[in-house]
Chain A
């Protein structure tokens, strides 16, 4: 009965390194979202997964960002060659199939990424 979980909770990396962020959605939720929250800003939508369908990657900030999802479970967001402007909180949310699509999104606690 756990909520959305994300790991790591905090990540400090050096500029130019690759990082991988993980999201475990609520069991049974077919929709999964990634958002980015820069300091003092609202959340910025990055990418959406629905079941086994191919995601629309047009919201990703650059080609250094990629995301995958294994079936209807775990998702990973990978940032290659990190830059200082990638520093942010990366939030994952999941949504059930019942009800209107995408409306009830449950957020995880986020991964706080700091690129030095």
Chain B
């Protein structure tokens, strides 16, 4: 059972464009939704995260939009740059479990920003 579904699998955007990556979750007990960025040969790095009590969060050029009723959340990258080319993972966590469940990850989106 895939608890976090991520789309698209891959995405190519021109420099300056706004790539959008979408995720949907099933478990309503999830209460923390981070996005991770992973470069080849490296471990994932936390990019931005949101809790369900807000509908949007911005950090620099990265924005998360959250729709609790639809159980969906998305990542927008404003003014995208070639250096943003990486694999992006959405994830979900049940914080009330004390972290013992671990993060549940989507399958990832391979993003390429063309110069």
B102: min CB distance to chain A, Å = 3
A-B pairs with CB below 8 Å: how many?
Answer: 77
Find chain A residues with CB under 8 A from B35 CB: none
Check B105–A102 contact: CB distance below 8 A. no
* Interfacial chain A residues near B41, Cβ < 8 Å: 109
- Tell me which of B6, B102, B106 contacts A33 (CB under 8 A): B102
* Contact across chains for A102 and B93 when beta carbons are under 8 A apart: yes
The answer to whether A102 and B43 have CB atoms under 8 Å apart is no
1/0 per residue, CB under 8 A from B, across A73-116: the answer is 00000000000000000010101000011111111111000000
Shortest beta-carbon distance from A10 to chain B in Å? 10
Chain A residues engaging chain B, CB cutoff 8 angstroms = 4, 31, 33, 35, 40-46, 48, 50, 56, 59, 91, 93, 95, 100-110
6 A-B contact pairs sorted by A residue (CB < 8 Å): A35-B103, A35-B105, A42-B89, A102-B102, A105-B46, A107-B44
B binding-site residues for A, Cβ under 8 Å: 4, 6, 32, 34, 36, 41-46, 49, 89, 91, 93, 95, 97-108
With A40-B107, A42-B105, A43-B44 known, 10 other A-B pairs at CB within 8 A are A33-B99, A43-B103, A59-B102, A102-B102, A103-B49, A103-B99, A105-B46, A107-B36, A107-B45, A109-B41
